[in-house]
Structure 1
C-alpha cells in the first residue's frame, strides 16, 4: 500500500510529556497508519550542506536541548535503524547524481524522536534520519524529496519534522495565536492546497509576516515541508490534518501529502 508523506510540527521538546489535542492527534495518526516497514525522517535539527544519511543498526537518543526538567534527559526512544533501507536511499540518490554521505552513531535528535514517541511509542519501527540543507533553494529541496518518492510504494513512511511558524524569540505566555502567525499559516495553507509551487518557492518574498514566522536564523524548521512535498509530487494533494498553537507563535500542524 502506498503511504502518504507528512509534514509534522514537533513544537517544544516538552511535547513528549504533554497530553493535549495535538499529542492525542499524533497518537491517533500513528495508530491509523499501522506499522510501516520503515520511517524516513527529515529533521530540522540536522542542517548540513552535505546530504547525510544515518546508517546505524540501532539508534541512541539525543537530548539536544537545555534548561528542561530533569526527567526529559532520562527519556529514551530506542528505535532500530535499517542499514538496508539506508543503502536503498543511497541508491536513489546515486541514480540522481546527488552527493551524499553515510553517518554512524549520530542518534535521533528531538525533532525525530519527540513526534515518533507519540506516534509509535513501542519504538519498534526502523528509522533512517536524513539531514536538510537550509542553504539550498526550495526547488532543490523539493527535488531531493522527489528522489525518494518510490519508497512510498515500498511501505516506507516519509516525514518532514519542523515548524511552519517557529520563532523562539517571539514566544508568548499564552497559547492564543498571534494574528500574524494565523495570517502566515493561512497563506501557506491556501497555496499548499492549490499546490502552487511558484508561490511557495517564493515564500520569502510573498508570504505575509515571513520574517516573524520564518526568521533568517530558523529557516531549517520550515524547509522540511519542501522535501516531503517533493515525495508527493505525483499526486500533489495536500490536506491539513490539525492546526494548533503553543506560546502564541509556535505552530503545531500536520499536513498529509499524497
Structure 2
C-alpha cells in the first residue's frame, strides 16, 4: 500500500456563518484540500470540545451538532455525515497511553461546528472518516504540543491532523453587521508576532502564550488558541497557508506543519 505523508494543520474556523458565507477562507480551504493527497482519515482537535480529561470519539457515525444560537435557519439544516473510524480511534488511545497520557473513549459525542464547518469546504462529499479529540482544560500548552508530537506518526499513514481554533478570538469586539471592517492594531500585531515566531522556528515563544503581546484582547479565554499548540507538535516546518480577518478582529489564519 503506497501511503503519502500529510501535514498537520491549524485552522481558524471562524463564525458558524462561514458555512453559508465562505468569504476568503472557504476558497482557501478548498484550494488547500485540492493540493493535498486525499486523506484516508482526518483527526480534529476542537476548541469547542473542552473536557476534564483527554477524550477520543469512537462513534461510528456521529451526529452533526449545531452548537450555536440565533443564526439563519439554513445553517441548522446542514449535515456533515462522514463516518467515524473506531479502529483508528483505538490506535489513538493506544498511542496516548504509550506516551503516558490517559485518554478515554467517547462513543456519543456529536461533531461541533469547529469540526464540520472547515471540512464542509475542504471535503464537501463527507466521504473521509473523521475522528474528534477533546481539548483537556487541565493541559498546559506544552502538554498539548506533546499530544501533537505523539500522534504525528499518523501523518505517514495518510492521516490529516487538524487543530481547529482561531488565531484571534474575542467575540465582544466583533463587528457582526460589517464583516469587512478593518482589523484593529491589537489583533494584527498579535497574529503577526505569532507568525514571525513560527517562521523563525521559535516555537517556545508561542508556547509561552501568556506573554504574547495583546494576549488578553485577542484571547480572553484559552480554548481557541490551544489547538494551535497541538498542531505545532505535528511537524517542525511551518508555512502560512492563508491570512485574513472577518468581522474586524476575528483572525482566519490557516497554518501548515510538515
Give the shorter-chain TM-score range. over 0.9
1:198 maps to 204
Q: Once the 2 structures are TM-superposed, how far is the Cα of residue 135 of structure 1 from its aligned partner?
A: 3.3
1:9 maps to 12
2:150 to 135, 147, 152: 147
C-alpha distance in 1 between matches for 2:50 and 2:80: 21
Q: TM-score, normalised by structure 2?
A: 0.95
Alpha carbon RMSD of aligned pairs, Å?
A: 1.1
C-alpha distance in 2 between matches for 1:95 and 1:134: 21
2:229 maps to 226
C-alpha distance in 1 between matches for 2:107 and 2:57: 6
1:209 maps to 214
**8 Å Cα contact 2:41/2:130 also seen in 1:** yes
1:237 maps to 237
- Deviation string for 1:206-243 (max 9, x for gaps)? x211100111xx310001011111111xxx11111110
**8 Å Cα contact 1:133/1:220 also seen in 2:** no
Q: 1:124 to 1:174 in 2, by over 3 A?
A: closer
C-alpha distance in 1 between matches for 2:161 and 2:51: 19
- Indicate whether 1:127 and 2:130 are aligned: yes
1:167-182 equivalence runs, <5 A:
167-172=170-175, 173-175=178-180, 176-182=182-188
Q: TM-score, normalised by structure 1?
A: 0.95
C-alpha distance in 1 between matches for 2:18 and 2:61: 24
Q: Once the 2 structures are TM-superposed, how far is the Cα of residue 48 of structure 1 from its aligned partner?
A: 1.1
- Larger proportion of helix: 1
2:105 maps to 102
2:189 to 183, 193, 213: 183
Q: Which runs of 5+ in 2 are unaligned?
A: none
C-alpha distance in 2 between matches for 1:70 and 1:158: 31
C-alpha distance in 2 between matches for 1:247 and 1:134: 28
C-alpha distance in 1 between matches for 2:141 and 2:109: 26
Q: Once the 2 structures are TM-superposed, how far is the Cα of residue 174 of structure 1 from its aligned partner?
A: 4.5
Secondary structure at 1:231's aligned position in 2?
coil
- Deviation string for 1:162-213 (max 9, x for gaps)? 00101101112353111110000001001111221321122212x2111001
Q: 1:68 to 1:79 in 2, by over 3 A?
A: same
Secondary structure at 2:253's aligned position in 1?
strand
Q: Which runs of 5+ in 1 are unaligned?
A: none
Secondary structure at 1:148's aligned position in 2?
helix
C-alpha distance in 2 between matches for 1:87 and 1:6: 22
- Indicate whether 1:91 and 2:94 are aligned: yes
